[in-house]
Chain A
Amino acid sequence: MEVNGLKLELGYIFIKDIQFAEKSKVENGTLYVNKEEVKAIILEDQNFKSADVELAKPGESVRIMPVKDVIEPRVKVEGPGGIFPGMVSKVETVGSGKTNVLKGAAVITTGKIVGFQEGIIDMTGPGAEYTPFSQTNNLVLVCEPIESLKQHEHEKALRFAGYKVAMYLGELAKNMTPDQVDTFETPTLVEGIKMYPELPRVAYVCMLQSQGLMHDTYVYGVDAKQTISTLIYPTEMMDGAIVSGNCVSACDKNTTYHHLNNPVVHDLFAEHGKTLNFVGVIITNENVYLADKERSSNWSAKLAEYLGVDGVIVSEEGFGNPDTDLIMNCKKIENKGIKTVLITDEYAGRDGTSQSLADADVRANAVVTGGNANEVIELPPMDKIIGHVEVADVIAGGFDGSLHADGSITAELQVITGATNEMGFNKLSAR
């Protein structure tokens, strides 16, 4: 039967190891990478004077820092468009057909864009428990910018280097038969709303950080701060329609990997037709200007009402001023008679006793937390550092003396990439 709406088959090719080799290929679960070809891709951009490429595998005594983005290699096998539309592929609507995924592999970009830093991934030890990227086979890009490069240009160049290398690796899987195929289908609104009349209709409001240098997110290549809240098919996200350009305070930033693998979307699909009817996704931004916050939250509430849903899950990105967006979304959607569940994280002080968010409301009465980012953690020294170790003292959540002489680090959890992720991607729970 012809599908109205979007249907995407995600084909997973499981990657259990990564190695450098003469020829880049995927064979028997190993991703072989030609280092020189990857370097050449990075150095296509004249903003980089040199580049190095390193491997980091689960269990190795390796610390990666400062991390800018994490990207999963994917490739379009069938259907319109390419991965990361509007960025490195044409602005074609994605999210249908077939996409192959190198599941278990990741490209990680690192770089010192500004003097203060963030983003640690430890591949072993206590820090590894807090980040999902200690479990992936990582290709780490260490790119050195030319002298005169401005921070904005540096950030953009790094971002694109990550996408291009991820595309290059993804292409290796284009003609492969996947180990596992999962199918995701979203019908048109008219059809979807009628599908399971006995089940509650649920939508997802995905908040995107959008506030300036190293605080931005892009949708089909558009800076999210210049958008108003809108609708997106969840499968479009799986093909890279949303990418990350933000990395300050790494614990609660959604990397591009998170957007590709959004756990709220995956869980809503898993429950679709069982406990709920997953109707759609609303994306909304988090701007600095208060009038923008009002406008965007008005629109997300209006769209939720328009979709006729009974409940909405809202995920935040970041902390501080986005807490105001979160609470505005919550209040306005609840005022439409729609129940909300919020996913956030906490800055509750090192002892966990301070108010967790910078805003609050009585209607925010169903909240899931990704953890307390102020929690202090000890990271033992690692045998190998990829990136720049000297930045530990000035890392967000680091403090004077946080880098010790033996290479160990005492810092708040917020230094670790993905540690308190507000999509709920975390591995640890209090249970």
Chain B
Amino acid sequence: MIITNNEKVYDKYKDKIKIIFVQGGFKDVLVKTRDKIHEGHELLTHPLSSSVKPNETPFKSVMISDDKRSLNLDSLYIIENSIMTYDNFSKHKFGMMTDQITEDFKLIDLTVLESALNI
């Protein structure tokens, strides 16, 4: 299952993969992911990007398991750490977001997700 606020990901995969679209920012995706982990879903991709900083890109897509089991502590540890890291970064917001840049950030988020989907 994918949790995303990136329309590019949503439009491409909504008919193929179970997907939750989040109306909101990067942090809203992280919080939604945490809630799903609390329900027993397992985190499948790392919620932090590797280079594009969370206060720089507004878009995030995360993959979690479709099935629910007992609370996965490894998943919980990673998502809590990621939220903490996000909060550190969000003290300084980067600005300047033209339409083209917005589209490029969506594309980068899509390619990072697809690197995990093996597409």
Residue interface mask B15-39, A partner, CB < 8 A = 1: 0000000000000000000000000
Q: In the complex the two chains form, what is the Cα distance from A215 to B98 in whole Å? A: 23
A398 touches B108 (CB 8 A): no
Is A408 an interface position by the 8 A CB rule?
A: no
The range of chain A's interface size is: 35 or more
Interface residues of A in 390-407 (CB under 8 A from B): 393-394, 396-401
Residues of B within 8 A of A319 (CB): 50-51
Interface residues of A in 330-353 (CB under 8 A from B): 347, 349-350
B115 touches A287 (CB 8 A): yes
Interface of A is mostly: loop
A213's partner among B63, B94, B103, B111 (CB-CB below 8 A) is B111
B45 touches A358 (CB 8 A): no
Residues of B within 8 A of A116 (CB): 52, 56-57, 101, 104-105
Residues of B within 8 A of A292 (CB): 116
Is A324 an interface position by the 8 A CB rule?
A: yes
B112's partner among A114, A212, A322, A347 (CB-CB below 8 A) is A212
Residues of B within 8 A of A359 (CB): 78, 81
Is B69 an interface position by the 8 A CB rule?
A: no
B50's partner among A114, A289, A321, A398 (CB-CB below 8 A) is A321
Q: How far is the CB of B55 from chain A (nearest CB, A)?
A: 9
Residues of B within 8 A of A211 (CB): 50, 112, 115
Q: How far is the CB of A29 from chain B (nearest CB, A)?
A: 37
B96 touches A393 (CB 8 A): yes
Given known pairs A116-B105, A349-B88, the reply for A321 and B111 (CB within 8 Å) is: no
Is B53 an interface position by the 8 A CB rule?
A: yes
B84 touches A355 (CB 8 A): yes
Given known pairs A324-B78, A358-B82, A394-B96, the reply for A213 and B108 (CB within 8 Å) is: yes
Residues of A within 8 A of B94 (CB): 394, 398-400
- Determine the residue in chain A with the shortest Cβ distance to B105: A116
A215's partner among B50, B78, B105 (CB-CB below 8 A) is B50
A209 touches B45 (CB 8 A): no
Q: In the complex the two chains form, what is the Cα distance from A286 to B46 in whole Å? A: 11
Residues of A within 8 A of B100 (CB): 115
Residues of A within 8 A of B92 (CB): 350, 399
B52 touches A249 (CB 8 A): yes
B98 touches A115 (CB 8 A): yes
B115 touches A151 (CB 8 A): no
Residues of B within 8 A of A293 (CB): 46
Q: In the complex the two chains form, what is the Cα distance from A398 to B50 in whole Å? A: 17
Is A91 an interface position by the 8 A CB rule?
A: no
B50 touches A318 (CB 8 A): yes
A399's partner among B47, B78, B95 (CB-CB below 8 A) is B95
Most chain A beta carbons < 10 A, residue from B51, B89, B98, B103 = B51
- Determine the residue in chain A with the shortest Cβ distance to B107: A151
A212 touches B114 (CB 8 A): yes
A358 touches B48 (CB 8 A): yes
Residue interface mask A138-159, B partner, CB < 8 A = 1: 0000000000000110000000
Residues of B within 8 A of A396 (CB): 51-53, 56
Q: In the complex the two chains form, what is the Cα distance from A1 to B51 in whole Å? A: 48
Residues of B within 8 A of A347 (CB): 53, 88-89
B81 touches A400 (CB 8 A): no
A321 touches B49 (CB 8 A): yes
Is B73 an interface position by the 8 A CB rule?
A: no
Q: How far is the CB of B65 from chain A (nearest CB, A)?
A: 11
A399 touches B111 (CB 8 A): no
Is A98 an interface position by the 8 A CB rule?
A: no
Is A55 an interface position by the 8 A CB rule?
A: no
Residues of A within 8 A of B116 (CB): 287-289, 292
Residues of A within 8 A of B49 (CB): 320-321
29 contacts between A and B (CB under 8 A): A115-B104, A116-B56, A209-B51, A211-B112, A213-B108, A214-B51, A215-B112, A215-B115, A248-B51, A249-B53, A253-B51, A288-B115, A289-B44, A290-B45, A292-B116, A293-B46, A318-B50, A320-B49, A320-B50, A321-B49, A321-B50, A324-B46, A324-B78, A355-B85, A358-B81, A359-B81, A393-B96, A396-B51, A400-B95
Q: 17 extra interchain contacts, Cβ-Cβ under 8 A, other than A288-B115, A358-B82, A359-B81?
A: A115-B100, A115-B104, A211-B112, A212-B112, A212-B115, A213-B108, A214-B108, A248-B52, A249-B51, A249-B53, A288-B112, A319-B51, A321-B48, A324-B78, A354-B88, A359-B78, A396-B51
Instruction: Give the top 4 A-B pairs by smallest Cβ distance, nearest first.
Output: A400-B95, A115-B101, A248-B51, A114-B104
